[in-house]
């Protein structure tokens, strides 16, 4: 029988069990909530140097395509993106690496040796070998990747969001 001001054995045990249950809920629940919420608020950008091969394998003066894929985990989804770049090696091994993504609406351009231009099939744009717009609607030249040459191995800097 409970008396005012005193705690019964049953009341004490109930309180202890409720307290222990709350602690266990927090210990188990917080990591789960963190796991579920963190990808949604993450939004990190990645900055990577991607090797694109030996520089001396690229012909001098001819834009040469190099393709690669990148896998990315975005939240709970894993995506794989394909990239292609054009490597233009100069006579003194200076390098220009251009994106093949048209700066108008993102179609893929392709290089033609015959015309020495990049052509975009979507709206008939043309870029010269350095990526400068010759005709069509693109608002700016082809994007250029930062590159570096480490002992003959060429790498490009890829930023992904």
Kindly list the residues in this chain that would bind ligand FES in the complex (CB under 6 A): 102, 104-105, 107, 120, 122-123, 125, 136-138
CA gap 4, 30 in Å, rounded: 38
Q: For the CB of residue 125, give the shortest distance to ligand FES in the complex, in Å.
A: 4
Please, which residue, 109 or 154, has the CB nearer to ligand FES?
109
Q: How far is the CB of 105 from ligand FES (least distance, A)?
A: 4
List all residues 6 or more positions away from 1 whose beta carbon is below 8 Å from its beta carbon: 8
Least Å from the CB of residue 133 to ligand FES = 9
- Compare residues 58 and 111 and give the one whose CB is closer to ligand FES: 111
**Residue 95 or residue 143: which is nearer to ligand FES going by CB?**
143
Please report how close the Cβ of residue 121 comes to ligand FES at its closest, in angstroms.
8
Residue among 96 and 104 whose Cβ is closer to ligand FES: 104
Question: Is 68 buried (19+), middle (13-18) or exposed (0-12) by CB count in 10 A?
Answer: middle
Nearest CA to 145 out of 161, 134, 159 is that of 159
The beta strands (E) that lie in 13-139 are given as: 46-54, 64-74, 77-89, 95-99, 110-112, 117-120, 125-128, 133-135
């Amino acid at each position: 029988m409970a008396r005012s001001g005193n705690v019964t054995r049953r009341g004490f045990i109930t309180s202890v069990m409720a307290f222990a249950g709350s602690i266990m809920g927090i210990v188990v629940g917080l990591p789960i909530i963190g796991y579920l919420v963190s990808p949604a608020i993450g939004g990190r950008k990645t900055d990577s140097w991607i090797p694109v091969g030996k520089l001396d394998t690229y012909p001098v003066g001819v834009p040469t395509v190099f393709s690669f894929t990148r896998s990315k985990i975005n939240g709970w989804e894993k995506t794989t993106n394909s990239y292609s770049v054009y490597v233009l090696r100069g006579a003194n091994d200076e390098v220009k690496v251009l994106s093949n993504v048209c700066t108008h609406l993102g179609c893929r351009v392709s290089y033609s040796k015959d015309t020495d231009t990049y052509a975009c099939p979507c709206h008939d744009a043309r870029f010269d070998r350095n990526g400068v717009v010759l005709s069509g609607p693109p608002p700016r030249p082809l994007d250029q990747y930062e590159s570096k040459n480490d002992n003959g191995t060429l790498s490009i800097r890829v930023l992904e969001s």
